[in-house]
Structure 1
Amino acid sequence: MPTSSGHTKAIRASRVIGTNVYNSSGDKIGEIEDVMLDKTTDGIMFAVVGFGGFLGIGEKYHAVPWKLLDFDEATGGYVVPFTKEQLEQAPAHGITELTENDGLQVRDRSFSYYDDVAA
């Protein structure tokens, strides 16, 4: 059964990983590097969005709440409701930090930032 926006509820992680992410102005800001799952609730903790850098050097990883990514069929990618500047100021982490202590500190800090920016 589709969601209120017409998207399906289920999607394979392998189909999501590598998908481009765009900001609200339509600029490509990066791509989904991974998806962090919460084994205890059977839910998605967050999407790991990588942007910046060149050929993997200097790339930053952001824990973006899954609910903030909206798939756009026209671009074939996900759109987040933030400007490039807001995303550049968002908490960034190394890939290993995203799983330390179950990713809770990273998730809480990132979610707090995105909640404040969206308000």
Structure 2
Amino acid sequence: MSDTRITNPLISCHRVEGTEVYNADGDRLGHIDSIMLDKRKGNVAYAVMSFGGFLGIGEEYHPLPWNALTYNDNLDAYVIRLSKEQLNAAPRLKRNEYERLQDHIYGKSVYAYYGAAPYWY
């Protein structure tokens, strides 16, 4: 008998935060640090991924369009089609710069990098 997981498509953001993120090659890239919601439209705007660092020191934060992530049941993690090199070139933030995500010009650059349409359109 195979182990076929049937998971509920809904999940609390508390359970998403901390979930690992891998690329398609199976490399661990980081974990979801935060989920950013548009409180008026009800959309997930970004998943902010923590990358690098040690014990919170030197970490970088990459805002990812939510639709750039795919959930993988076997890994119990999210997967993004991005190499480590592409991640190194991706838009990033410091933890104290999350307010930049409210700037639509910055947001457009993030979504353009991942080839995704901004959530507000």
Report if aligned partners of 1:32, 1:47 keep a CA contact under 8 Å in 2.
yes
Report if aligned partners of 1:46, 1:107 keep a CA contact under 8 Å in 2.
no
For these two proteins, the number of residue pairs brought into alignment is: 111
C-alpha RMSD of matched pairs (Å): 1.9
Partner-residue secondary structure (3-state), 2:114: helix
**CA apart distance, 1:77:** 0.4
Query: Where does residue 94 of structure 1 map in the other structure?
Result: 94
CA distance in structure 1 between the aligned counterparts of 2:97 and 2:105, rounded to whole angstroms:
9
CA distance in structure 2 between the aligned counterparts of 1:101 and 1:22, rounded to whole angstroms:
23
Write the mapping of 1:66-81 to structure 2, written as runs, cut at 5 A.
66-81=66-81
Superimposed CA distance per residue, residues 60-115 of structure 1 (whole angstroms, 9 cap, x where no aligned partner): 10110001111111111000011111011101111232224725344222111111
TM-score by length of 1: 0.83
CA distance in structure 1 between the aligned counterparts of 2:28 and 2:36, rounded to whole angstroms:
22
Superimposed CA distance per residue, residues 23-69 of structure 1 (whole angstroms, 9 cap, x where no aligned partner): 11011000000000001211111000010111111111011000111
| Percent identity (aligned) | 39
Report if aligned partners of 2:101, 2:107 keep a CA contact under 8 Å in 1.
no
CA distance in structure 2 between the aligned counterparts of 1:18 and 1:102, rounded to whole angstroms:
23
TM-score by length of 2: 0.82
**CA apart distance, 1:8:** 4.8
Partner-residue secondary structure (3-state), 1:87: helix
Which runs of 5 or more residues in structure 2 are unaligned?
A: 1-5, 117-121
Asked if 1:11 corresponds to 2:48, the answer is no
Report if aligned partners of 2:62, 2:90 keep a CA contact under 8 Å in 1.
yes
Write the mapping of 1:44-63 to structure 2, written as runs, cut at 5 A.
44-63=44-63
CA distance in structure 2 between the aligned counterparts of 1:28 and 1:101, rounded to whole angstroms:
24
**CA apart distance, 1:14:** 0.6
